[in-house]
Every structure is written in structure tokens, then in C-alpha cells.
Copies of this chain bind each other. A is one copy, B any other.
Amino acid sequence: MGILTSAGDLPVNRDETRDTVRTLYDAYARRDFERVAAFIHDDIDWVIYAPLSVFPFAGPRHGRAEVLKAMAGIAAAYVLENYKAEITIVEDDRAAVISDVSFTQRATGRLLRFRVANFLRLQDGRLIEFREFSNSFDVVEQALGRELNL
């Protein structure tokens, strides 16, 4: 190991990444948000790609406090019903996951079901980079309970 190597520079093992991602997703699926919060790195760089006008917790967030606030925003508006990873791809410190998810909208009781595609990067066993994609046009229509007028 070179003298300049610091903890953050250690090569990350694929199996370690897979274990951490699995633990993180299992915790989220059983709504153990405290356990999830423990995996959020202080310097996390996070984006949910969706319109803020409909999903105020979406968009870019920097740092642990902002991300926990976004997650609290999701939980305030939606009850997580189901979160099932369908495809997981892991390489070194990164993972990509497609999940089949469903949420009940608290204000209306409406059930939203869609797929999300997440890209994650870990550092020191925690989540430091996060990108979430979905078919946001479809999710907006489900959230509003009607087709959008184009």
C-alpha cells in the first residue's frame, strides 16, 4: 500500500458493495428509515430526476441533512408499500438497481406503482452518490390521478 493511500482511496470490493446495497435496500423496504439514515454519507451528492412542482422532495440535494429532509418529505406524503429490486448490477464501489415500487399517496389514498432506476456509489461503507430515474411523466399522471393534457 502506498504511503499516500488514505481510507477513502482503498479499492472497494464488489462483494462488499453488494452486501451494503442489499442491507440498505432491505432496510428501506421494511421502512427502517433510521437504519437507512445511518448509510447516508455526510458529503452525499443526490439527485431524484422528477418535477419539483409535483414532488417537492425531488431534484438535487447536497449533504446528509438535505437528503434526510428529502426522505422525510417522501415519507410525509407517501406510505411505502412495496420496494422490490428486480435487477442489480455491481462493480467496485458502484451499483445500479431497477426496482418495482409502490406507494400510497397519503392525501388521497391513491396507489402509485412504477419502476425506479437507481445509480449508487459507496465510500467508507456509505452512500456518497445517488441518482434516481423513473418514467416521471407517468409518475406525475399517477400522482395527479389523471392524464396530462398536452
Contacts and interface: CB of A to CB of B under 8 A. Distances in A.
Interface stretch (A1-9, A23-31, A87-95): A87-95
Q: Output the residue of A135, A139, A148 with the most chain B CB within 10 A.
A: A135
A50 interface: yes
A56 interface: no
Interface string A101-136: 000000000000001010100000000000101111
Given A148-B148, A149-B149, A135 B138 contact: no
A140 B14 CA distance: 37
A93 to B, nearest CB: 10
30 contacts: A49-B134, A49-B135, A49-B138, A50-B135, A50-B137, A51-B138, A53-B150, A89-B89, A89-B90, A89-B91, A89-B94, A89-B96, A96-B117, A98-B119, A115-B133, A117-B117, A117-B119, A117-B131, A133-B133, A133-B134, A133-B135, A136-B136, A136-B138, A137-B137, A137-B139, A137-B140, A144-B150, A148-B148, A148-B150, A149-B149
